[in-house]
Structure 1
């Protein structure tokens, strides 16, 4: 890679797969800024990431999320960064087209990585493993269906797929860096 070429890693994955935490680990080891979509959207809405989806209607949140995701991808392409997108934004066709275009161009400076994880671990990481009433069973089922659909979509859009079920964010980050170095070295 030429010294003036920016390098970026885009992380996509369902809630709990580790996009934010793995992104932070990669950013720290590779000396890259981390652009976290959930944090950026929450900041633009004047709230915290855990409350952003309840502060505004979901339709408004998803629109703000997709617009912000496109801006973060533009910034990463220009400056180099680790971008933690998650998977909620993947319902926007503009964003999916952009990610598909990146993958098809197979640029060595920007790679899309899907983080996947076992459903039972995702349920735990999202707080859905606690004992629950029978009435909440449907919510759990809907969550599992959403996770499976998002993981499939992430895998379709990615250059690399990494399972984070049994890794720490630091271990997963190192695996991503090593795997991408074999495909397209980031270091000259």
Structure 2
């Protein structure tokens, strides 16, 4: 999407679209498809945190704890919102911090909604996601129930991903951005 194709009034210094949603929603996969279709780069704040710390998020949770991770994540989101001009995927829990929700104001935010069955199937039972250790299905239900209203509160658009391919989801988002 060239600058002249952007929606009127859209600041040039923002991501084209920000994807939010729980683990298993397909944020990273859909971000890559959107970036290819739009001819812009994609960025994932979880990858940014891992690059900054030189470790996986799962290991970061173990060695430094969730609060430290959330601080690093909030900084990664602030940096990406200020610097990135393409498609941005946020980590599943990024929106739990008020400062992140406030920073998303004025951005085009798409909540990739996913039901429990699809989310659990996508993350798998041997999940390396720190907040889903133990009974993945039970943890995922708790997480979805708690976060769904938060995702909805920051979303410009909601796109259901259940039973759909990433290509289908990306196509719907492209139509919303047109």
The TM-score bracket by the shorter chain reads 0.7 to 0.9
Kindly indicate whether residue 118 of structure 2 is the aligned counterpart of residue 121 of structure 1. yes
Query: For the residues of structure 2 that align with 1:17 and 1:180, how far apart are their CA atoms?
Result: 19
Q: Partners of 1:91 and 1:111 in 2: how far apart?
A: 18
Matched, 1:152 2:110: no
Cα distance change on mapping 1:83 and 1:97 into 2, 3 Å: same
Give per-residue Cα distances to partners, 1:85-118, cap 9 Å, x unaligned: 033111211111122x21xxxxxxx411000011
> 2-side partners of 1:15 and 1:120: how far apart?
12
Q: Give structure 2 stretches of 5+ with no counterpart.
A: 128-133
Q: Give the one of 53, 76, 81 matched to 1:45.
A: 53
Shift of 1:41: 0.6
Instruction: Provide the secondary structure at the position in 2 that maps to 1:14.
Output: coil
Name which one, 1 or 2, has greater alpha-carbon Rg.
1
TM-score w.r.t. the length of structure 2 is: 0.82
Match of 2:26 in 1: 18
Distance 1:75 1:93 in 2: 20
Stretches of structure 1 that go unaligned for 5 or more consecutive residues are: 103-109, 131-135, 182-188
Cα contact 2:43–2:89 (8 A) shared by 1: yes
Q: Residue 113 of structure 1 aligns to a residue in which SS?
A: strand
Distance 1:41 1:153 in 2: 22
**What secondary structure sits across from 1:95 in the alignment?**
helix
d(CA) in 2 for partners of 1:168 and 1:50? Answer: 27
2: CA distance between counterparts of 1:33 and 1:86? 17
Contact 1:123 1:129 in 2 (8 A): no
Q: Do the aligned partners of 1:114 and 1:155 also contact (CA within 8 Å) in 2? A: yes
Q: Distance in 2 between matches of 1:8 and 1:42?
A: 23
**Partner Cα distance (2:82, 2:65) in 1:** 26
In the alignment, what sits opposite 1:162? Answer: 159
Distance 1:59 1:66 in 2: 11
Residue 24 of structure 1 and its aligned partner are, at CA, apart by: 0.5
